[in-house]
Structure 1
């Protein structure tokens, strides 16, 4: 049986390879609408509304001082990617936020490109700028649990893997804010 370190390393290598393949082939030129009630499981968005499914309605800081939005260096910059795998049904979803405000989402190879509103883009970047994310461990999984979803996030030069079994409010807010952008069938 593989140990935790070997499993974590295998998942990171697999995820990095998958993201590299997807990142190299995606040019971000598609025009698509932001998530709708049908694509977000009943959550609707508009250009003036905050991010869908936000737990507090704002990016409240978890540490002293207010987080500021992470800077954007170019339209093709990958600000954050999140891969969701596992569960009883064998979920495999991916969402990538790019520097031009586009969101690439894929479920089992079916891609979709959507655009954030200015407010949504700022809120996502602010969540990424939360100083509390620096304190989140790279690996928090309950290895004894079965059929839990596993989240692999890449942001700020880090890879973080979690099944959300730990208490990490800053990470949970980021996952909650990205989840409505995942492809829904």
Structure 2
């Protein structure tokens, strides 16, 4: 039911946007739509989520954050559906790259493996002192693990990540 409401909001904005374009009127806004991060209207902004029929090349395939450790690491690796990736560390300039087709296929296979779907979403043991905490988000599922609990299916995902695994360097 919620999906239908969202479609109505977007489709409800289409006539107003079309009229604004034809008349050359700027600043059209849909009062029902939340503001976009760039200050525009999310129903008409280029930063709005892509419709199901549009290509998902910019969509996030997996996001891995690493925190903790002796040096207080706070890193974030985002791999997109098209294989492009961005690594952000606390004080460093972001690094970017693109996975090759084989590497991307390996990562997808690891994420879609039924064994990965059975990896617990939260660690059950005690955290390792000065250890890392890994948070892996793929679609709507988030898995949190520590240095002491890395099931084989999660390790397979880590091994398939660009740059040799989760970003643990400060």
TM-score w.r.t. length of structure 1: 0.56
- Given candidates 147, 166, 180, the residue that maps to 2:130 is 147
Higher relative contact order (CA 8 A, sep 6+): 1
> How far does residue 83 in structure 1 lie from its aligned partner after superposition?
0.2
Kindly indicate whether the alpha-carbon contact (under 8 Å) linking 2:103 and 2:160 is maintained by their aligned counterparts in 1: no
Residue 75 of structure 1 is matched in structure 2 by 57
- Residue of structure 1 in register with 2:164 after alignment: 180
Structure 1 residue 163 and structure 2 residue 164: aligned? no
Name the residue aligned to 1:122. Answer: 105
| 1:156 CA drift (Å) | 3.1
Moved over 4 A (4+): none
Q: Secondary structure at the match of 1:96?
A: strand
SS at match of 2:134: strand
Contact 2:66 2:168 in 1 (8 A): no
In the superposition, the TM-score normalised over structure 2's length comes to: 0.60
May I ask how many residue pairs the two structures share in their alignment? 115
Q: 3-state DSSP class of the match of 2:94?
A: strand
CA contact (8 A) 1:112 1:183 kept: no
Unpaired runs of at least 5, structure 2: 1-36, 38-46, 48-54
CA contact (8 A) 2:128 2:148 kept: no
Query: For residues 1-185 of structure 1, what are the structure 2 equivalents within 5 Å?
Result: 74-109=56-91, 110-140=93-123, 142-178=125-161, 180=164, 182=167
CA distance in 2, matches of 1:126, 1:155: 12
**CA RMSD, Structure 1 to Structure 2 (Å):** 2.4
The structure with the larger Rg is 2
